[in-house]
């Protein structure tokens, strides 16, 4: 769909998290994540 938006791939670096049940620290590996950017047509439709 023209003007809807576009997807791209973004890199999320490794980080440390915590298991909420045990409180243990967990290593979260680096990974690729999808990223969506809304186009002008979608923004105009939402704001009208």
Dump pLDDT digits (tens) for 10-39.
999 999 999 999 999 999 999 999 999 999
Task: State CA 35 to chain mean position distance.
Answer: 5
CATH of the domain at 24: 4.10.520.10
With tokens 């576009």, the residue in question is: 6
Question: In the structure, what pLDDT confidence band is assigned to residue 2 with cuts at 50, 70 and 90?
Answer: confident
- How many structural domains compose the chain? 1
Q: What is the pLDDT of residue 3?
A: 83
Pairing of strands 5-12, 25-28: unpaired
- What pTM, to 2 d.p., does this model score? 0.59
* DSSP element (H, E) containing 31: strand 31-38
Q: Is the pLDDT of residue 8 over 90?
A: yes
What is the residue range of 37's domain?
A: 5-47
**Residues belonging to the chain:** 48
Q: What is the mean pLDDT of residues 36-44?
A: 94
């Amino acid at each position: 769909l023209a003007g809807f938006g576009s997807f791209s791939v973004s890199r999320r670096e490794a980080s440390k998290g915590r298991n909420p049940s045990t409180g243990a620290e967990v290593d979260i590996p680096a990974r690729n994540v999808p990223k969506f950017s809304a186009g002008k047509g979608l923004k105009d439709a939402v704001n009208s």
